Amino acid sequence: MQDLDTEKKILKEAIRLLSYRENHETLFTLASGKKSPYYFDLKQTLLNPEYLRLAGRVIRMAIGKNYPDTVIASGLTMGADPIIYSACLSGVAVPNKIFPAIVRKEAKDHGTGKKIEMLKGIENVTPCVMVDDVITTAGSTLKAVAAMREAGFTVKHAYCILDRGEGGREALLNEKIELVPVFTAAEFRQK
C-alpha cells in the first residue's frame, strides 16, 4: 500500500484517462438535468477492480481523518454502493471499522419494505457519513441524508470522489454537512 498522495495521483490519472470527457460543442446532460461541457463517467474507472480498490482505500483514509473509530458509510444506491463496499474491505486501519448502509431510492414494495439496508443491531449513536461517486447538486446525497436522519443517525460529513462544483457543497452546508471531496472538477478541466 502506498501513501495517500501517491494513491490519489494514480486514481486521478485513471479518472482522466477512463472517465473524463470534455466537449464544448455538444453539451452533456447531467443526472441533475443541467447541461455541461464536462462529463465524468466514474463508473468507467470504478468498474475496474484495481481502481475500485484504490478508490475505497482513498475514501477510507479520508473518512479516518475525522472518524478514527467505528462509523457507518451510507449513500443512495448505485453511485455509493461500490465505493462503500470497497472502503469497508480496504484493509486500511483507520477508521477502526466501517459498516455499510445503502439507501434505496424507494422503500421495497415487498418483504419488510425497508428503505435502508444495513446490519441489524447498529445503534443510531454510531456516527454516519455519506459517500458518493460524483456530487453535482447533492440531490442524491441529500435523499440518503434524509433517510438516515429519519432513522435517527447524525450526519456531519459527505465524502465523494469528485465534486463538480455546481452547488452541491452549498446544498450540503445548508444541512450542516461538510463536503470532503477527493477531487474537484476544476482539477481536470482543459479549457
Segments making up each domain of the chain, as ranges: 4-187
Q: What is the pLDDT of residues 48-84, one digit of tens each?
A: 999 999 999 999 999 999 999 999 999 999 889 999 9
The predicted structure's pLDDT at residue 1: 55
Closest C-alpha among 144, 134, 150, 151 to residue 177:
144
CATH architecture of 4-187: 3-Layer(aba) Sandwich (3.40)
Other Cβ atoms within 10 Å of 149 Cβ, number: 14
Residue 56, all three cell numbers: 475505497
Cβ neighbours of residue 81 closer than 8 Å, sequence gap 6 or more: 75, 102
Mean pLDDT of 14-31: 93
pTM listed for this prediction: 0.93
The predicted structure's pLDDT at residue 33: 83
Q: What is the pLDDT of residues 74-131, one digit of tens each?
A: 999 988 999 999 999 998 888 789 999 999 987 666 666 689 999 999 999 999 999 9
Asked whether 98 and 73 are in contact (CB, 8 A), the reply is yes
Integer Cα distance of 139 and 12 in angstroms: 24
